[in-house]
Amino acid sequence: MLGFGNVNRTLVRLLQEKTADLRRRQIAWRITGVATRRLGWIADPQGLDPSLLLEKNFPVGSLKATAPRNVRDWLHAAQADVLFEATSLNVQDGQPAIDHLRAALEAGAHAITANKGPVVHAHKELCALADSKGLSFLFESSVMDGVPIFSMFRDSLPAIHLRGFRGILNSTTNVILSGMEEGLSFEQSLKKAQEVGVAETDPMHDIEGWDAAVKVAALVTVLMGEKIALDTIQREGIRGLSGEAVRAARESGHPYKLVCRAQRHGNGIRASVRPEQVPLSDPLAWVAGTSNIVYFETDMFPGLAITEINPGLEATSYGLLADFIRAVSD
């Protein structure tokens, strides 16, 4: 496990909970390595104690059965079959996660990530490398948590053409807008979102539409097969909206939502992330709080909508678990 924050910690709990289900599928697991910036590279091929790992201040010293110095040494020392990469997003170039995933595939391990950066910046390269090694590069949790979007297109919608999509893909801004509709100012609603743990301490990434833009880029890259530079996605966040404007929009029957869009246009893609007023007849208007929606337009299904209601961290970690099962069952 590379990165040991919310997502990979929840994955450890989920692996424990689902051990019997996995066993029924002939899958056994043990965690042979954990690495973060602060902890360094911890590896023990015999397996680290999951309960100890989940303790708040686990005794790092006692776990350092080996002392690898870099990702390649670490993967080797851990004898890893699978890497779960869940480190922080680097919007600009997806590093160092891309190097870590590449190292895993080169070392013979499946590479599974919750991180959008490598999907946007290195999807083609990592898929090709995985194919050449007979391994999997999977990233279901990177957009809409664990909802099976990428695997649905890959496994269940063969030969379909995606013409475009629109949706609400960022929970923090959706929660803030919902709070403003209920009477709070932008600042009050942001504070509340931070208090309940939805918004990060530094929420500007979400508020300015960066997180949503990276998700748009990931969907365009993988599902529409087009490379798209982040700076070509027209991007406007929600900071310019006042509480009065948000409430008036809701009362007029056209509430504000931070809408993500991408559409084929000639030989290219037009994509945007910006606050839009949507009519109540549109399914996007009803998606509130931490819920997300994506509405696909394909040549076979004119409208195919997937809605995720109130996802928790388990949903994200479930995406990693489902990828794990897919990777080791193939």
Ligand X SMILES: NC(=O)c1ccc[n+]([C@@H]2O[C@H](COP(=O)([O-])OP(=O)(O)OC[C@H]3O[C@@H](n4cnc5c(N)ncnc54)[C@H](OP(=O)(O)O)[C@@H]3O)[C@@H](O)[C@H]2O)c1
Chain residues that interact with ligand X, rule: CB under 6 A: 3-7, 35-39, 86-89, 96, 114-115, 141-142, 145, 313, 316
Burial 236-247 (b: 16+ CB within 10 A, else e): ebbeebebeebb
- Nearest approach, Cβ of residue 231 and ligand X (Å): 20
Least Å from the CB of residue 164 to ligand X: 23
| Complete edge-to-edge strand list for the sheet that includes strand 162-168 | 234-235, 268-277, 256-265, 162-168, 292-298, 304-308
CB nearer to ligand X: pick between 133 and 205: 205
**Cβ 171 to ligand X, closest distance in Å?**
8
| Helix or strand holding residue 211 (H, E) | helix 210-223
Residue nearest to ligand X (CB): 5
Output the six-digit token pair for 315. 């949903």
Whole-angstrom distance, CA of residue 67 vs CA of residue 70: 9
Nearer to ligand X, 3 or 164 (CB): 3
Closest CB to ligand X among 35 and 219?
A: 35
Q: What angle do CA 123, 128, 133 make, to 5 degrees?
A: 130
CB of 244 to ligand X, least distance (A): 31
Query: Which residue's CB is nearer to ligand X, number 35 or number 129?
Result: 35
Residue closer to ligand X (CB basis): 37 or 56: 37
Q: How far is the CB of 271 from ligand X (least distance, A)?
A: 19
